[in-house]
Amino acid sequence: WTPSKFIRRLGLEINNEESVLYWAAKNDVPVFCPALTDGSVGDMLYFHSYKRPGFILDIAEDIRRINDLAVRSHATGMIVLGGGLVKHHTCNANLMRNGANFSVFINTGQEFDGSDSGASPDEAISWGKIRITAKPVKVCCDATIAFPLIVSQTFAKDVEQWKEEVKGTACYIDDLDCLAKTA
């Protein structure tokens, strides 16, 4: 098991169409959570490990998976809600491919305290986590306010038109060969 496989199983078991994890599992979209053991789920895994000795949650397989996804991608984009570990984990995967092509950070972190959450996109560019040719954006706002507004005016505004516009778009470098053969 890995954290992302565990989360996928949770999504399938939830069987609730109002759940983000349900839709991610249903559409085979991996959800990575490097800090899965931090909190109640970690407590349950701790107790379970006594009931079923030998249960392993392999975080190394997940880091390979997220980094490989980034490296194999034709282009990547990051929408990071909040900061800290999740922001660092996502940005680091893009470091492996010389930076993300698109980036939006939504958080209330400030630069002056030196936290990763408050770091500007310029800091990520300096590390190679965002490409120098990208036009990253940082939205200083609570993500629960900003993200639904952004989704409603972008992704969800005209889904059918968007589907038509991205038809035949390559997601992974391997897809470029397939597209060339069908053209």
Active-site positions read 129
Q: What are phi and psi of 62, to 5 degrees?
A: -70, -40
Residue type present at position 7: I
User: How many C-beta atoms lie closer than 10 Å to residue 138's C-beta?
Assistant: 19
- Helix runs in the chain, H state only: 3-14, 20-26, 40-51, 59-72, 85-95, 121-127, 143-153, 159-166, 173-182
How far apart are alpha carbons 111 and 123 in whole angstroms?
10
